[in-house]
Structure formats: structure tokens, C-alpha cells
């Protein structure tokens, strides 16, 4: 399996639900974040190009037998994609911390249409506990770090439920010390984190912090991760692959 246009749906589901039925289920949610391909050519009307994100995070092609945790899973595109690649998946999100959807659950709608097995819990990253959740081989932490009031604590909680040698795929907002048009420069070479008291970042009151790369890497190391590999940047987001230290 290679990076490609995702094809998540189960053919059995396509026989059970018609196109109009699926469109009606999708319309139950006023705001979608993810564009999820469903049977009969229906795609949820999200604003995020999830297939482009698949290429950027370099999700392993074969996840057979792996336990995957999708932190901040939102509508669940990446949860369902991991299941499609063979994983046993748990997605968590804390709808009390986000202004989107007002508690409505796109994950549940997509799961029912796709006849998927991935599990979902309305839960905070701060509640992650190996005694309750077990350990995972792979954790996705995409577009969530800057929404946390306590980002270092969040990383520490994630590290505790990731197996030694397990992989964290991270995407987050970050900043440069100086930016000129589309080019950024970190001239001070020291860890810096910016704090947003209200909605200064993208008019979103759920955005709290923005680290520079030096700060992000230092926080990852302090939380128990090593082998930090920068996968790339896109606009104001940076992507990392990290290993849980042995």
C-alpha cells in the first residue's frame, strides 16, 4: 500500500446504504473538519485536505497488528485510515476544549457509514493512563499541541502510553523568530514559546501556545522522546516523527 487517494469504505456498507441515505447522515453535522471519502462517491465537506496530510506525515503503509491512538481525532479520517491499513484504533477528542461542532460527533457518523471498528472516546489527553488505556505502537498527535493549556504535560501523558520504541507522528503550529513573506528564520537558536491569552492566534480562543522548533524539540526530549526527525513544514505547521526512548 502506498500514499494514494484514500479508499476507506467497506463494500458491504455500500450495499446497505444508498447515496441519499449517506448524504442525509453527513448533513446531520453542520461543520466537518475532515474530507472523508464514503461509499457512492460521497465525501464529507471538510476544509482539510487529508490526503495531502497523509503524504506529509508519512503514515506507515502496513499497520497490521498495531495499536494506534489518534489524539485529537476530530471527525476521524486518520483513525479510519489507520484501521484501513490494519491497525486496532482508538481515537480521542475533548469536545469541551474546541469551538467546533458544539459537541456533535462526526466520528460516529463516519464510523456508521463506513462500518468501521475504530473506537472513539470523548476524553482529554491529560487522562491518558497505561493502566486504563494500555500501550500503543503508534500515536498520531496532529494539530492538537497548540490547543493544550499544558502542552508539556500532554506530551508526558502521551509518552506514558506509547511503547518503548513506539512512534509519535506530530504536527503542530510553530513560529519563527523572524518571518519575511513565506520565509522564516530562527536567529536566536534558543527555545521560545509564545502564549496567546485570548484569540490572538487565528481568532481562535482554543489556541494557547506556539513553540519555535528549538522549544518543540526540547519539550519532546524532556518528555521521553528521541530520534526526532523533522518530516517537513507546510505554511505555519511543522511535522515530526519521534521515537519513544527505550
One-character DSSP codes across 176-245? -SEEETTEEE--S-S--EEE-SSSTTTT-TT--EEE-HHHHHHHHHHTTEEEEEEEEEETTEEEEEEEE-
Is the whole model's pTM more than 0.85, yes or no? Answer: yes
Is 47's pLDDT higher than 70?
A: yes
What mean pLDDT comes out for the span 241-245? Answer: 97
> What three-state secondary structure class fits 157?
helix
Q: Which of 94, 97, 112 is nearest to 29 (CA)?
A: 112
Angle at 216 between CA 215 and CA 222, to 5 degrees: 85
What mean pLDDT comes out for the span 181-194? Answer: 73
Fold exhibited by the domain 51-244: Rossmann fold (3.40.50)
What mean pLDDT comes out for the span 64-87? Answer: 97
Is 5's pLDDT higher than 50?
A: no
27 φ/ψ angles, rounded to the nearest 5 degrees: -70, -10
pLDDT tens digits, one per residue of 128-174: 999 999 999 999 999 999 999 999 999 999 999 999 999 999 999 99
Which pLDDT value is given to residue 4?
A: 41
> What three-state secondary structure class fits 5?
coil
pLDDT-derived band at 228, boundaries 50, 70, 90: very high
Whole-angstrom Cα distance, residue 37 to residue 237? 24
Count CA atoms closer than 13 A to 175's CA, side-chain side.
15
Match 522549544 to its residue by C-alpha cell: 215
- Domains of the chain, by residue range, sit at 51-244
Which pLDDT value is given to residue 9?
A: 52
User: Average pLDDT over the chain, rounded to whole?
Assistant: 88
pLDDT tens digits, one per residue of 82-123: 999 999 999 999 875 554 554 567 999 999 999 999 999 999
Q: What grid cell was written down for 215?
A: 522549544
> What three-state secondary structure class fits 15?
helix
Q: Dump the DSSP string for 49-113.
A: -HHHHHHHHT--S--TT-EEEEET-TT-HHHHHHHHTT-EEEEEE-GGG--SGGG--HHHHHHHH
CA distances from 215 to 210, 231, 233 (A): 9, 17, 16
What mean pLDDT comes out for the span 221-244? Answer: 96
Amino acid at each position: 500500500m502506498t500514499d494514494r487517494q484514500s479508499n476507506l469504505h467497506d463494500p458491504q456498507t455500500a450495499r446497505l446504504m444508498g447515496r441519499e441515505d449517506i448524504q442525509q447522515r453527513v448533513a446531520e453535522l453542520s461543520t466537518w473538519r475532515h474530507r472523508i471519502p464514503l461509499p457512492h462517491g460521497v465525501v464529507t465537506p471538510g476544509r482539510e485536505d487529508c490526503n495531502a496530510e497523509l503524504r506529509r506525515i508519512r503514515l506507515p503503509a502496513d499497520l497490521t497488528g498495531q495499536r494506534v491512538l489518534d489524539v485529537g481525532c476530530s471527525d476521524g479520517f486518520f483513525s479510519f485510515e489507520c484501521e484501513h491499513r490494519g491497525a486496532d484504533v482508538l481515537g480521542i477528542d475533548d469536545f469541551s476544549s474546541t469551538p467546533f461542532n458544539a459537541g456533535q460527533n462526526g466520528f460516529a457518523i463516519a464510523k456508521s457509514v463506513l462500518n468501521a471498528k475504530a473506537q472513539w472516546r470523548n476524553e482529554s489527553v491529560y487522562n491518558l493512563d497505561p493502566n486504563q488505556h494500555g500501550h500503543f505502537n503508534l500515536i498520531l498527535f496532529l494539530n492538537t499541541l497548540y490547543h493544550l493549556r499544558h502542552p508539556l504535560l500532554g506530551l508526558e501523558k502521551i509518552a506514558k502510553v506509547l511503547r518503548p520504541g513506539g512512534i509519535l507522528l506530530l504536527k503542530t503550529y510553530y513560529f519563527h523568530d523572524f518571518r519575511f513573506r513565506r520565509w522564516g528564520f530562527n536567529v536566536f537558536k534558543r527555545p521560545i514559546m509564545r502564549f496567546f491569552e485570548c484569540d490572538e492566534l487565528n481568532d481562535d480562543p482554543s489556541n494557547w501556545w506556539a513553540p519555535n522548533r528549538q522549544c518543540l524539540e526540547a519539550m519532546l526530549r524532556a518528555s521521553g522522546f528521541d530520534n526526532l526527525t523533522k518530516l517537513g513544514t507546510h505554511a505555519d505547521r511543522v511535522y515530526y516523527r519521534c521515537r519513544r526512548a527505550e
